[in-house]
Each structure stands twice: as structure tokens, then as C-alpha cells.
Structure 1
Amino acid sequence: MNNFTFSIYLVILLLIHSSCVISSNDNVNGQGSTPTVGKEVTSPSYDVNSTTSSTTTSLAPEFNARCPDNVECYKLGGECINCKYNKHCFYGKPNETSECQVKEDIKCIGQRKFNRTHECKYCYQLDKSNYSCDTTNASCQVINGQIQKYIAQCTVKHNVLCLGQRTFLKNLPCNWTSGYKWSTALILSITLGGFGVDRFYLGLWKEGIGKLFSFGGLGVWTLVDVILIAIGYVGPSDGSLYI
């Protein structure tokens, strides 16, 4: 092989090598690659409204449940609207008119501003049929010779409008019952009082055991219990009223 032929062969090898290096660099840089067929490449997106909605629902599910969507605005309850009450209205006026507007977070159908009629009273002054109160109070005793009272938290009903706070505290008499019958307790006291059955029925276990082992205090305790139950002085252990 002469020098001229060798030089041509060397030039060809250099050209081939140079072509391979360029092709390799293009692939590394992501250029010249073939796009995937049937797949659309999109940039990531974030739904701000969706995120806000889910956050609101998780923080206040009870509020949203009482203020449903797709309801006529004027039918929404007091928790869902803000009203401009006239605090100088005539007390007890049944048809007082106030301008109300749906709260910003509530979705409804129709005009978001409207007039509503209501009674001119503060919420705590309403009739007891317009609100409900928590009557569970372990310290409330009703069988002790006099009527006691307890402080209960009350909430105005959903469809009632009134002035002031919709949740308030009220001093209520202890008049709840657990289902004990006065007639049953009296009959047990007369027939089986000597064995303490009347006390057991009322949940008074210590007194019942005392009567059982003392044979009704030799009859004296039995007679006294009949009188005390008959006049209502001895009642259920939880302090509730007879039915």
C-alpha cells in the first residue's frame, strides 16, 4: 500500500469517527430524539379552586352541611346569612323586616340580597320552641326536696332569625327523667321493701344492701321508705324525675 492510498484511508476513518461523536452528543442533549406516539406532553397544573374547596370542607363540614348548595338563597337559615337587624325595633313585633345577604362562601340560586321577616327579640328571649338546649348534666339533681336549676348551652333552630348570638347559655330547671316509674317504686317498697328491692330498683345499691341484711331495719326502715317514696322524697340515684 503506497502513502497516497494510506492517507485516503486515514481521512475516511477520521470522518466516520467524527460523525459518530456528533450523533452521540445530540442524543445526550435530548436533541433529535423521536417523540412518543399517542402521548401528549403537558406541563403540570394546579387547581387552586379545588384545593381551596377541599380545605374548606375539611375545616367546616358541619357549616357546609347546614348551608347546602343549589338552594334558593332566601330559603337559607340563619347560619348562612348576615342580616342588618334593627336593634331599636319594637320588642315582640312579629313581622320585623331586615335586609339579609348570603355569606360569601355559600353558593345558592337567585338574588343574594333579600328581605326576611322575624320576631323582634334577642335569641335568648325567644320562646323555648325556637331553640334546643343540652339537657345532659350529671350534677343536676331534681329529687332533693326542692327544684334546682342548671346552666345549659342552647342553640337557635336553623330556620329562626333573631338578634344577637345564636348560641347562648340559659338557666333551666332540673326536670329531666331517666325512665323510672313512681308507681313501680312504690309497689316494690310496699311488697318487697323489707329486702331492699325498692332501693335496688332506684339504683341505690348501698341502702338496698343495708335493708337486705337488716330485714328492712326490722320493719322500721321499710315503713319509712314507703312514706318517703310515696311523697316523692326518695327518687332515682341519678337525681332524675319519675315518669
Structure 2
Amino acid sequence: MTFGRNRGPRMPTADEAPVGRAAPAYAVPEAHLVLGTRLQGPYPDGYEIADFALGCFWGAERRFWQLPGGVWTTLVGFQGGFTPHPVDDEVRTGLTGHAETVRVVHDPARVPYRALLTLFWESHDPTQGLRQGNDIGTHVRSIIFIHSPAQRTAAEETRALYQQALSSAGHDRPITTDILPATEHPFYPAREYHQQYLHKNPAGYCGLGGTGVSYPLGATPSRSLP
């Protein structure tokens, strides 16, 4: 899915962003088409939210819902920009500043946050800046939106470990993944068309491609990760 072809790959300013709206422009489906769970809650007690931007959210969402056990639901949307409740046409301009994001609601006792981070790092190339493969623009940049200090610690330490793994494998580009607080960057669900898109369209487009370098599962972080 390629947005932003009508402008260069640069981050907009708040003054350039569309004004947006005070409420969503469309309804979001109630249930996940694959998992059968609620997309927007309420979620089970003890479950946690994790938000990841790693390129086209069609393929990214499928990677997370396919994790065995422990993922309650996945939901795609836009996060990290300026425009409240953006719609597709606004995001396509590249002026909203939003990235295509997957929200993952998971049971940390069965699928720890670190397992989600491992999938995140291995499922895309986090060194490409404002692009991901053939997709170019602010909407496909790499971001981890953190919901707690523990998530920040895990995100920062796994980023450093994956950078080491890339360097050891001969990849000389630095990771460009941002780590941003979700409290400062609201998540706006995308319309029904995009939710579980590759379940509805199994042969649909997926531009994701990793580096081919595995996350170092045997690495020991300096602090405890969730």
C-alpha cells in the first residue's frame, strides 16, 4: 500500500497538516475477522497494548495476528502525526505526519512484549528512514509507540541489540526507528476496508521485507525486559 507519492519523503510541520476533525469520519467494525475478538475493547483484565509502525499495515497486521496464542486482537490505524482523526486521502498527502500502525492487544504471560519486539525487528528493515521497500513516505517509517516505562526499556534495549546484530552481519546503516510515547501520539483506527485486509484479500499487496538478520534471542540485556 503506497501513500504519499505526490510529495517528497520529508516530515511535515504541524502548520502543514490538515485540520482534521473532532470525531471519527467512519465506524470501525466490532469484531476481528480472524480472531473473533473485539477490536476496540473492552479487553480482558491483565492484557496489554503494544503499538508498532513498520511499513504497510496490511502485511504487518497479519504478522502479529498469526502469532500462536496470547494475541487477543489486532487493529490497524494511524499514529504519530498531527491531524486528529485523519482519513486516507489526508494520510496519502504525507502532510498529516501519521505512520501506518498496528495495535496489538496481548496477554503478556503468554506472549511477552519482547516476543512482539522480536517479530517487529525481523519483519521489516528498520534502517530505511521514510520508506519501506517500494513504499516511500512518512506513513511507512519505523516507530515503536510505548505505553509504559517497561516498554520503553525493552524497546531501547532491543533496538541496541538488533543494531549490533545488523552491524555484525555487515549492514552498515543505522536503525532509524523512533521510540515515542503513545500518550502523546493518539492512535486513530483506520476504516473497515483496511482491517484484516489480507484475510479478506489473501493475494493482496504486502510490501514488507526484513533484513534477513535474526534478532539475537540469546542476547542478555542489561536490565530485565518484560
**Common topology (TM > 0.5):** no
Q: TM-score, normalization: structure 2?
A: 0.20
Q: Which has the higher contact order (CA 8 A, sep 6+)?
A: 2
State which structure, 1 or 2, has the greater radius of gyration over its C-alpha atoms. Answer: 1
Q: TM-score, normalization: structure 1?
A: 0.19
The structure carrying a bigger helix percent of its residues is 1
